[in-house]
Structure 1
Amino acid sequence: MRPLRDDDPPQVGPYRLLARLGSGGMGRVFLGRSPGGRMVAVKLVHPELARDPEFRRRFDAEVRAARAVGGRWTAPVLDADTGTAVPWVATGYVPGPSLHDAVREHGPLPPASALALAAGLAEGLAAVHEAGLVHRDLKPSNVLLTIDRPLVIDFGIVRSAAGTSHTRTGAVIGSPGYMSPEQVRGERLDASSDVFGLGAVLAFAATGRPPFAGTDPDSGAHAMMFRVVTQEPDLGALPPGPLRDLIERCLAKDARARPDVRRVRADADAATPADARDASWLPPALVAALGRHTARLLELENPRAPAPAPAPAPSPMAPPPARRRSARSAWLLGAGAAVVAVTVLTAFAVRLAVRDDDAPPTATGTDAAPEASDGVPAALVGSWEGWTGDGEGQRHHRYTIQRGRLGDVVVQYRQAATRALCEYEGALTADGGSVTFRPAVTYRLPRDTACTDEPRRLSARGDRLALDGAQTLHRVTRDQVDARLRGRWSGTASPGSSPVQRQFTFGTGSVGTEAVDIRITADGADCEATALLISAAEPLVIFSTRITRRIEGDCTTNSTQIFDVTAAASLTWRRYTPRGDLETVPLRRR
């Protein structure tokens, strides 16, 4: 928590603001107090985003989805105004860490705690599913740990079980490593997809690492999603037993083989050791951390009040089903003022995270990261793209910049060259009107591609973005292929002795997803591949990534391909061959 700044409002709606919790790419988050004394987390959308009608639609849908779920195991919304000039949402404040932060700081959960987590999350997902929704983004940073139970949060990409999306239609969106195989493939989802996410979250909680992370430090989002679809989870650090068996069943590739959430709850209860049934479900270090946080909250409200007594160490962990509530309540009555205060506060929920569907999903803490007084200028926040070089040396760049302070990862960056693709993230190393960072490679194709690690500087130049003070990029205005161009296009060329037909099918996926299918036919040879949508502007840009079917043909993977759009909405395909020759083929709609 940080003190309010001069430019922070003293009040939002009926809530008096007490402190700044942080700032993310979507808005500022404050600790507030209701007129009745309830502690709340208030998220205030950034003014520049409030002017975007599409963003306001998504924000309103997210709030409605969270309200529809509510309940004991999820985070209910207390209040919101999505129609005001600067939209905001208020949720009850929970001083608990995310599962991601808890495991990173204190290590994997013991088996009894992980079983308790399984039971609690299964109940939370049951509430989501009973509301007719599919969460689609269950991951460690979307699970909060309280003294009494885990809570499921963040309904930014929730989807109706009947098929109504609260994000862009057809986009493959989620968190790499926690999406189900059918979600990676862009198929229609049901409740079983969330069960797969639950299994991946439990694996992280019990082992300290995602089950599909692999061993390559340069392995990025696409490699992780490939492993989700094609490889078994890495559970080597988890000993045989009921917990491992439960996780393996949740992570079944075939959705029909996964248990439903009620079965997960029942199996977790049955596997809990008898001597752990009436004890606290959290490890002692986490209970103590909750007590310290509550002490800071009490001091914030009443600086002269004495600090609460430190929380005592509880006995071994156990799950918190409702039928065991009386025994656990008796333990809490003797745990000291700090833990009692935490228990009162955890009747409320924490923030509703507002996501940017255009940016790769990233792990976050219980609230947005604290923001330093100096950081990323507001004028640079958003997505930018453009070209450098010419001819065979031409490169397409796309940057997504979010707010943050020195040391925070504030940039995601993709560079598509003629025959290589590099993806990076960058932490802010200097500010003062610009963003300076050193790229860290997160994905490369082919695997032996030499991706640069030279520092880069981004600065505003009017309504453009200057890259290293020279070439300029423009703000992204379109993230999906224009509806006029979606569908199947084909054309025939004769580079050699026989004609080669190229066919491209543009779907509705967003930039950054495999939204394009390729088919090449020549003299009986036939091959199919998929391609990443690099830019949905004009010209369209794709990068072919993997072969899905081949009969003697050359699918020309690992290459940038460009589609020029004419005034009549027709397309011309072009690319540079490995020999350096420029190929072009006029395409017609099929």
Structure 2
Amino acid sequence: MAEPWRALSEQSTFAGSIRIVRSLQSASPRRALYLAEQTGIGRACALRVLDPRLISSAPGKARFEELKALRARIKSDHVVDVVAAGVDRTTGAPWFALDHLEGETLSAHAAAPLPPAEALEILWQVAHGLAAIHEAGQVHGTLDPSSIIVADSRYAGSDFTVTLLDFWTSAWLRSADANAEGTDVASLFWSAPEQTEPGTAVSAAADVWSFGLLAFRLLTGKVYWKSAAQPDQATPVGVLKEVSVADLPRASRRASELGVEASLPEGFDGWFARCVARSIDDRFQSIRQAVDALEPILDREAPVTSSAARAPRRVAGPGLKHHVSSLYAWARSTDVVVPAVLAVLLLAAFGVRGHSRARWPWSRSRSAAPVVAALPSPTPGAAAPAAAPAAAAPTADAGAPRPVTLTDSGAEAIATRLGSIPRGSPVWITVAAADPAAEAMGQRLLGIFERAGWRTHPLGHSEVRARPGIFLFAAEEQSPAYVETVERALTDAHLAPTVARGYRSFYAEMRRDNPSYRGFPFEADQTFLIVLGRGQ
């Protein structure tokens, strides 16, 4: 049965003054989306209702109060407005009522290349919103065309208004549960390299990176990364390889590789290169600086040879054929960044800058209780926030240290599972960097394997810094049955292992392309490795 806050009925009253019009489906376990109306004044709004457990602790309540006040500090009409916010007495759920926008996502609006003048107008409005966000001391962090609405203009002299959708709750959801927003690879196409590195402070420079990619998208109708051409086949490791390791061709060259016939404006290559420089110091130092440098480039008439290019169009009135609400756009958008993608967290956790085999599959074992590490950052785990805080997003504050926990009943469950099958490969367990609690747990796990009749190697230690959690690396993509048994044993003990297969070939390729890569080398007879992570 759905929780009450997730199943508000049509025409019901919520929080005393909001009438529910209809529900909009969302895959997120932490939020529900509704089209609603403020009673008394008849104003339509987009209602975002969040999981009550987010404010079950004092830090959660403080975070909500901070977010309620955030929009008032952002001085731009190009960021969606908050018309009301609070906590519903009946359900205990925190909520935001946001301005309801009629329009289309920028993804739909720019399905084909836009003329430079129209692209510039859109980018100016986006930059205005981003600059205001940065002046309020915030980073957007999830900028992509699906998180931007091109709506009917409410102002004289303008054909359309561009609005950045609600972004501030996304980081909160990610910090509360890294898996809450799904594992959509599409979010990585707009993420700066530093956003995949746990513990790295993310600044406004990350939005400069995304802004450059957005400009390329508007002028070409294509996402810059080649893996985006076949999104169904794209994997986190493949996208990360492009974003963080592979060469970055000039914008004009990449446009040609993607089959774009329209020529990019003169000077755009150099401007784009400054946006997507992997070194933060080499990027434009602010959004204002970036858009100021772009204006003279797009103001010039660009040669056009593609029939796909079109004249600027009005968005208001009949020209807008596909009206969608901003709320519906949220339901379809990734609304997440980097961090929330489990594969990204795992790659970044072990120092991988996004370079791997496209066929390296990932899986996440589910469990009702988490592995809790004695580290500054919380660990990915189960849905209940009190039991399993998720890996923190780069901008989130680290949680308090928590002890590594393996209960007696959990140890017994592992022993029972391990003793039920023929013994497999020798057991390797490694502690990632020095951590007394993780070390103690590693020794205890080795003892359990030994008593179950498995051959073991002494506990290993690695200088690789890993995020909290237990990681099971399988050497091959098709692993022996006993590797799956080890995974089930850890799951039986409520340790929620994160599993990666095909690691041997991944490691070999990483070493070939980057000799300084450390990782975890496998012995010839080794079929799996258990790694106990720690904090940063």
Normalising by structure 1, we get a TM-score of: 0.51
Q: Write out per-residue CA displacement over residues 253-302 of structure 1, whole angstroms, 9 at most, x where no aligned residue.
A: 221222221122323333344899xxxx99437445675678x99xxxxx
Q: Write out per-residue CA displacement over residues 504-523 of structure 1, whole angstroms, 9 at most, x where no aligned residue.
A: 65644689xxx999xxxxxx
- TM-superposed CA distance for 1:77, in Å, is 0.8
More deviation, 140-149/230-239: 230-239
Which residue pairs with 1:44 in the alignment? 49
**2:434 partner SS:** strand
- TM-superposed CA distance for 1:228, in Å, is 0.9
Structure with bigger strand share is: 1
- TM-superposed CA distance for 1:127, in Å, is 0.1
Instruction: Work out the CA distance in 2 between the residues paired with 1:290 and 1:33.
Output: 29
Instruction: Work out the CA distance in 1 between the residues paired with 2:8 and 2:516.
Output: 66
Q: Does 1:134 align with 2:97?
A: no
The letter for the 2-side match of 1:156 is W
Q: Select 2:244's aligned residue among 224, 229, 248.
A: 229
The letter for the 1-side match of 2:101 is V
Instruction: Work out the CA distance in 1 between the residues paired with 2:533 and 2:96.
Output: 48
More deviation, 181-190/56-65: 56-65
Which residue pairs with 1:258 in the alignment? 283
Instruction: Work out the CA distance in 2 between the residues paired with 1:586 and 1:291.
Output: 54
Which residue pairs with 1:524 in the alignment? none
Instruction: Work out the CA distance in 2 between the residues paired with 1:487 and 1:450.
Output: 26
Instruction: Work out the CA distance in 1 between the residues paired with 2:528 and 2:145.
Output: 47
Q: Select 1:19's aligned residue among 18, 21, 26.
A: 21
Contact 1:180 1:228 in 2 (8 A): yes
Structure with bigger helix share is: 2
**1:484 partner SS:** coil
Instruction: Work out the CA distance in 2 between the residues paired with 1:282 and 1:15.
Output: 45
More deviation, 477-486/63-72: 477-486
The letter for the 2-side match of 1:368 is A
More deviation, 123-132/254-263: 254-263
Q: Select 2:150's aligned residue among 134, 138, 145.
A: 145
Instruction: Work out the CA distance in 2 between the residues paired with 1:68 and 1:588.
Output: 36
Contact 2:12 2:19 in 1 (8 A): yes
Contact 1:22 1:368 in 2 (8 A): yes
The letter for the 2-side match of 1:41 is A
Instruction: Work out the CA distance in 2 between the residues paired with 1:266 and 1:226.
Output: 31
**1:129 partner SS:** helix
Which residue pairs with 2:211 in the alignment? 198
Query: What pairs up with 1:337-356 in 2 under 5 angstroms?
Result: none
Query: What pairs up with 1:568-583 in 2 under 5 angstroms?
Result: 579=525
The letter for the 2-side match of 1:488 is A
Contact 1:23 1:369 in 2 (8 A): no
Q: Select 2:434's aligned residue among 479, 482, 488.
A: 488
Contact 1:61 1:166 in 2 (8 A): no
Q: Does 1:368 align with 2:373?
A: no
**1:201 partner SS:** helix
Q: Does 1:239 align with 2:250?
A: no
- TM-superposed CA distance for 1:200, in Å, is 1.6
Q: Write out per-residue CA displacement over residues 117-175 of structure 1, whole angstroms, 9 at most, x where no aligned residue.
A: 2211111111001101111111111111124331122323677xxxxx88539979993
Structure 2 portions without partners, runs of 5+: 1-6, 154-159, 303-309, 334-339, 344-353, 370-380, 392-400, 405-431, 447-454, 474-489
Q: Which has the higher contact order (CA 8 A, sep 6+)?
A: 2
Contact 1:506 1:516 in 2 (8 A): no
Distance 1:171 1:255, change over 3 A: farther
Contact 2:86 2:96 in 1 (8 A): yes
- TM-superposed CA distance for 1:11, in Å, is 2.9
Distance 1:107 1:263, change over 3 A: same
More deviation, 34-43/44-53: 44-53
Distance 1:203 1:552, change over 3 A: closer
Q: Select 1:88's aligned residue among 74, 82, 95.
A: 95
Query: What pairs up with 1:141-220 in 2 under 5 angstroms?
Result: 141-146=146-151, 147=153, 148-156=160-168, 168=175, 175-186=187-198, 187-214=200-227, 218-220=233-235
Contact 1:75 1:152 in 2 (8 A): yes
Instruction: Work out the CA distance in 1 between the residues paired with 2:469 and 2:461.
Output: 22
Distance 1:183 1:445, change over 3 A: closer
Instruction: Work out the CA distance in 2 between the residues paired with 1:74 and 1:552.
Output: 41
- TM-superposed CA distance for 1:52, in Å, is 8.9
Instruction: Work out the CA distance in 1 between the residues paired with 2:332 and 2:518.
Output: 50
**2:189 partner SS:** coil
Instruction: Work out the CA distance in 2 between the residues paired with 1:70 and 1:188.
Output: 24
Instruction: Work out the CA distance in 2 between the residues paired with 1:188 and 1:117.
Output: 29
- TM-superposed CA distance for 1:72, in Å, is 1.9
Which residue pairs with 1:561 in the alignment? none
**1:141 partner SS:** helix
- TM-superposed CA distance for 1:176, in Å, is 0.4
Distance 1:508 1:244, change over 3 A: same
Distance 1:505 1:50, change over 3 A: same
Distance 1:145 1:205, change over 3 A: same
- TM-superposed CA distance for 1:219, in Å, is 2.1
Structure 1 portions without partners, runs of 5+: 160-164, 298-349, 352-364, 371-399, 401-411, 415-442, 453-462, 465-472, 518-533, 558-576
Distance 1:14 1:206, change over 3 A: farther
Distance 1:118 1:229, change over 3 A: same
